[in-house]
Amino acid sequence: MAYRFCLECGEQLEARKVDERCLQACPKCRFVHYNNPRPCVGVLVVRYGKVLLVQRAVEPFKGHWDIPGGFLNSNEHPAEAARREMLEETGLAVVPTEVLGFYMDVYGEEEFHTLNICYLARPTDGEARAGSDAVRLRWFPLDDLPEKIAFNWEREALELLRRRLND
C-alpha cells in the first residue's frame, strides 16, 4: 500500500533506497514507510471431520468462503486475536491449541501483504452462528471444500489440515 503524504509531518513522500529496497520516505523528517506485512490470524475448528468456514459478507471476496479470523489489534497476542475473532464471527468460545502454520498473502487489489498465523482451536462453549462480517457459517468435510475460497493462503492451510486428518 502506497501513501502520498508523511504520516508524521504531512510532507509529500518520495522514493528512497533503504537497505537495497526502494521505499517511500519523507524528505523533511525521519519517517520511512516500511510497508511491513500486516499480521492476521485464521482459526480452524474441526468437528466430526468437518471444518467451520464463514461466508464473507464484505469485500474483498464477498460471498466467498473464509477461514474465521482477522487482523490483530494493537498490542494483541495472536492467540487472543484468535479467541476474539472466533467469538465475533462464529459465536464459539475457543482455546487455540496449536499453530498449524504461517502463510504470506496479499489483501485486496495488492493493497498490502499479510502474515497469516493459522491456529487450530478447540471449542469450549457457544453455538456456531454467523456474526457481523459473515453471511453464514457451514461445516465442510475437508474432502469436499467449496470452490470459492477467499484467500490463497487458506487453500494451503486447509490442504495441510486435510492431509493431517487423513494420516
Cell of 164: 493431517
Binding-residue pattern over the window 27 to 56 for Zn ion, x denoting contact by CB under 5 A: -xx-x-------------------------
Residue 11 or 159 with smaller CB distance to Zn ion: 11
| Burial annotation 80-90 (CB, 10 A radius, 16+ → b, else e) | ebbbbbbbebb
Interaction of residue 14 with Zn ion, rule CB under 5 A: no
Residue 8 or 14 with smaller CB distance to Zn ion: 8
DSSP 5: B
Residue 18 or 165 with smaller CB distance to Zn ion: 18
| Burial annotation 17-41 (CB, 10 A radius, 16+ → b, else e) | eeeeeeebbbeeeebebeeeeeebb
Identify which range of 4-12, 34-42, 66-74, 145-153 contacts Zn ion by CB under 5 A: 4-12
In this chain, which of 1, 2, 5, 9 binds Zn ion, going by CB under 5 A?
A: 9
Pair 36, 23: CB distance under 8 Å: no
In this chain, which of 5, 8, 18, 165 binds Zn ion, going by CB under 5 A?
A: 8
Cell of 128: 456456531
CB of 2 to Zn ion, least distance (A): 15
Residue 31 or 151 with smaller CB distance to Zn ion: 31
Q: In a 3-state reduction of DSSP, which class is residue 95?
A: strand
- The site for Zn ion (CB under 5 A) is made up of 6, 8-9, 11, 26, 28-29, 31
